[in-house]
Amino acid sequence: MSSTKPISAVQSVVNELLADLHAKSGCEKIGLTRESFAVILCEVGSKHATASSSETEIRTFFLSLRVDELALARACAAGVNAAWEVFLTKFREKLYLSALRIAREESAARELADTLYADLYGTNTRDGQRVSKLASYTGRGSLEGWLRTVLAQEYVNRYRRTKRLVSLDEESEEGIQFAAPDPEPAAAADQRLGQATDEVLAFLSGEDRMVLSAYYLDGRTLAEIARMLGVHESTISRKLDKLAKSLRKQIVAALVRRGMSRRQAEEAMEVDVRDLQLDIRRSFAQDSSPAAFSEKRVEARVPESEG
């Protein structure tokens, strides 16, 4: 995607704002020259901008960047020792603390932090060039937040995957009851139910669906979800209430639209979705849908035979 348009547009905006941004960044103190900073800004801008970005958009983008942290990160990525001193003073402690919060357990946290540390420092080399994760920081969010996110990513990639597998075994061990599938519902009805639900869900905004997923699939608390979205807990609570009430109604309506009678539709809602589960399970097996094996809270009646 390196068409010339965005780059030149970006370039001109950078030139325009360079003095300003450079002053804000304090990159001289950490050993980054003005020129290299300009190059960095261009790179960041090009990554973000698309062919259709207007100049104002680009300008807003640049003005919203945290240039001082960007400069620090890039200076560190380049191996400037002065920058590293600053970085360590500011973030070393927080890195370990965040790792501890994420991993909750000391040795795992230490390992997590150390690994990230190595990545940040650039102990990996590619083509003889030192590669540091810090080079991928673009200043859109705070450096501290970025560090936490990266830690969390690393943690999820490493530990949660294996944990998820385990939790399924635990589920089986715990003897989740698998009742016999109800023979009544025909496959046709199930399909309509699935379709109707999909239709209704599609009408929901991403945020609504995210809240639903986070609450019912991940089992997160209202407070957590609220913090994730930056709203008050009560907002989430109200939203979930509304959704729960309306979903049922809407699905029934959608089923009716698909030809069921009202009573049929309502019965269909009561149906055990175990048969429906068959398809879902199969599709789970195919893709790496991460929500596959999450919380046991949701009464996943997975027929063992299909497992």
CB closer to another protein out of 15 and 153: 153
CB of 273 to another protein, least distance (A): 5
From the list 33, 136, 172, 191, which residue makes contact with another protein (rule: CB under 8 A)?
A: 136
Q: Which of 25, 46, 132, 138 binds another protein (CB under 8 A)?
A: 138
Query: What is the dihedral sign for C-alpha 217, 222, 228, 229?
Result: positive
Of 26-34, 151-159, 168-176, 181-189, the segment contacting another protein by CB under 8 A is 151-159
The span of 3-11, 30-38, 130-138, 166-174 binding another protein (CB under 8 A) equals 130-138
| Out of 197, 254, 260, 265, the residue judged to bind another protein by CB under 8 A | 197
Within 210-249, the residues that bind another protein by CB under 8 A are 210, 212-218, 220, 224, 227-228, 230, 237, 240-241, 243-245, 247-248
Give whichever of 35 and 180 is closer to another protein, judged by the CB atom.
180
Least separation in angstroms between residue 282's CB and another protein is: 10
Residues of span 27-86 touching another protein by CB under 8 A: 60, 64, 84
> Which one among 23, 82, 88, 285 touches another protein, defined by CB under 8 A?
88
Q: Which residues pair with 125 in a beta bridge?
A: 130
Give 19's contacts (C-beta < 8 A, 6+ positions apart): none
Is the CB of residue 204 less than 8 Å from the CB of residue 242?
Answer: no
Q: Write down the least CB distance from residue 29 to another protein, Å.
A: 20
Q: Binders of another protein among 273-292, rule CB under 8 A?
A: 273, 276-277, 279-280, 283-284, 287-292
With binding defined as CB under 8 A, does residue 264 bind another protein? no
Q: Which is nearer to another protein, 19 or 79 (CB)?
A: 79
CA 103, 97, 132, 121 torsion: positive or negative?
negative
Determine which residue in the list 188, 205, 304, 305 makes contact with another protein, applying CB under 8 A.
205
For another protein (CB under 8 A), the number of binding residues is 96
User: What is the closest distance, in whole angstroms, from the C-beta atom of residue 220 to another protein in the complex?
Assistant: 6
Bridge partners of 124? 131
Sole binder of another protein in the list 4, 52, 56, 125 (CB under 8 A)? 125
The correct pick among 10, 22, 53, 155 for binding another protein (CB under 8 A) is 155
What HEC string does the chain produce? CCCHHHHHHHHHHHHHHHHHHHHHHCCCCCCCCHHHHHHHHHHHHHHHCCCCCCHHHHHHHHHHCCHHHHHHHHHHHCCCHHHHHHHHHHHHHHHHHHHHHHHCCHHHHHHHHHHHHHHHHCCEEECCEEECHHHHCCCCCCHHHHHHHHHHHHHHHHHHHHHHHHHHHHHHHCCCCCCCCCCCCCHHHHHHHHHHHHHHHHHCCHHHHHHHHHHHHCCCCHHHHHHHHCCCHHHHHHHHHHHHHHHHHHHHHHHHHCCCCHHHHHHHHHCCCHHHHHHHHHHHHHCCCCCCCCCCCCCCCCCHHHC
- In the list 34, 140, 258, 296, the residue contacting another protein (rule: CB under 8 A) is 140
The nearest distance, CB 19 to another protein, in angstroms, is 23
Work out which of 194, 267, 278, 296 binds another protein, going by CB under 8 A.
194
